[in-house]
Amino acid sequence: MDWNSLRPSLPSWLRWPSHKISRHIFLGIFIGFSLSLSSATLALYYRTKRRRLPTTQFEPRPIELRSDEILHGVTGLIGNTPLIRINSLSDALGIEILGKAEFLNPGGSVKDRVALRMIDDAERLGLLRPHTGSRIFEGTVGSTGISIATVARARGYEATIIMPDDVAEEKVKALLALGASVERVRPTSIVDKKQYVNLAKLYALQFGHRDSPGDANSNPAVYRPHILSSTSSMVVTSAPPDPQRGTEDPRDNEDFVNRPRGFFADQFENKSNFEAHFAGTGPEIWRQTNGHLHAFVSGAGTGGTIAGTGQYLKSRKQDILIALSDPEGSGLYNKVKHGVMFDRKETEGTKRRHQVDTVVEGIGINRLTNNINLALPIVDEAFRISDAEAVAMSRYLVQNDGLFLGSSSACNLIACIKLARKMGWNRGQTIVTILCDSGSRHYSKFWNDEYLRNANIPVDPQIMEDLLHPSDIEEV
């Protein structure tokens, strides 16, 4: 009995399908398997492509902090500040104006980066050792001093800050609260030996002397310092080794290594200032914008921010414009525009301040520093910002954005508007600037209307209207 004779007697579910049906079943299985294999292959290809694409175009973004991450002390909070859109200005101009929120650093300003880098570099070079009774000296108009005092306390150092006596009172109170020794001196030119930066250097040189300034715990038995060499204009001093050791190299003496030292940080000339921004601020801005920016705007006090950040951004994209925001009385605007370090107000004899004739604090200078010299080759444009413009911007931001910022931040944002107008930008171009500190350090001067009236500085909201809507003026 063969299969064909049995087939009619079998139930339908046991019968072998016909040749035609078998072919259809086979083709269905084959097509289904082929589609499944193709889909899996395509999915794997696109997944691999997506993984590779960001690494071939941009560097990884900075690590974003999560609530379950633990930072190593207060210095772990420094840097990686957010980049925020200034909505009112961006919407009015048709571009993207982004501010690096440096006021969110633990010391309240962009100078935290510089203080940390200077101290880190000094420790790395063996010039400072924590918890040895060493003292850091610096001459500053305030913000750098606060940052140094913050980092110094966290690292186990004392701090002595020398500053002009005409800076905002809030900065002095912050320094004293942080345990720093503060000396306020009359504002004078850098050529004067009693200028605040020169005094900070002198006090560092005198560290270890009996009754040396700023050294409340100096050892009466120590009469002269031992001066250590360093790689910049920094000054590092320490008491000499025990005379009984004779001519032994003090660097080989563990007792000498652990002696207290006086360290003059010298933010104006110290290249660590530049490096803090070249290695930190610049890369952060590049990653946060994914490389999509057309200009960077910054003021300059020491020059480190605009030099370090500007040089890094130029190294990534040469056609990024670097623009300087310069307040009244500073000579940098004329240095960039005309090659001469001079401001006309220096001939008028009506200065409100000796160093820079402006209510703005933290930016502006009338001498060239090492860090400013690093900036000059890459600065493409400069804008003079009046006190009245800075004041008007600060009030405008509070009213329209809820941003309570300091004087240098206001100057930077005025410069952003002037740059956009000069370039004719209104199609979504991106300008990034620095929001240096908050208005909480400027209550007694920049945010004090009575002080401004006495200084003949107007609080005029029309200034902002004229800057943002110049066509209204032309129509009249």
- Asked whether 118 and 136 are in contact (CB, 8 A), the reply is no
- Asked whether 340 and 368 are in contact (CB, 8 A), the reply is no
- Asked whether 74 and 150 are in contact (CB, 8 A), the reply is yes
144, amino acid identity:
T
Question: β-strand 321-327 against 181-185: which pairing, if any?
Answer: unpaired
Query: Is 418 in the active site?
Result: no
d(CA 26, CA 34): 12
Q: Give me the catalytic one of 100, 111, 201, 445.
A: 111
Q: HEC profile for the chain?
A: CCHHHHHHHCCHHHCCCCHHHHHHHHHHHHHHHHHHHHHHHHHHHHHHHHHHHHHHHCCCCCCCCCCCCCCCCHHHHCCCCCEEECHHHHHHHCCEEEEEEHHHCCCCECHHHHHHHHHHHHHHCCCCCCCCCCEEEEECCCHHHHHHHHHHHHHCCEEEEEEECCCCHHHHHHHHHCCCEEEEECCCCCCCCCCHHHHHHHHHHCCCCCCCCCCCCCCCCCCCCEEECCCCCCEEEECCCCHHHCCCCHHHCHHHHCCCEEEECCCCCCHHHHHHHHHHHHHHHHHHCCCCCCEEEEECCCCHHHHHHHHHHHHHCCCCEEEEEEECCCCHHHHHHHCCCCCHHHHCCCCCCCCCCCCCCCCCCCCCCHHHHHHHHHCCEEEEECHHHHHHHHHHHHHHHCCCECHHHHHHHHHHHHHHHHHCCCCCCEEEEEECEEHHHCCCCCCCHHHHHHCCCCCCCHHHHHHHCHHHHHHC
- Asked whether 274 and 374 are in contact (CB, 8 A), the reply is yes
Strand partners, 432: 98, 296
By annotation, the residues acting in catalysis are: 111
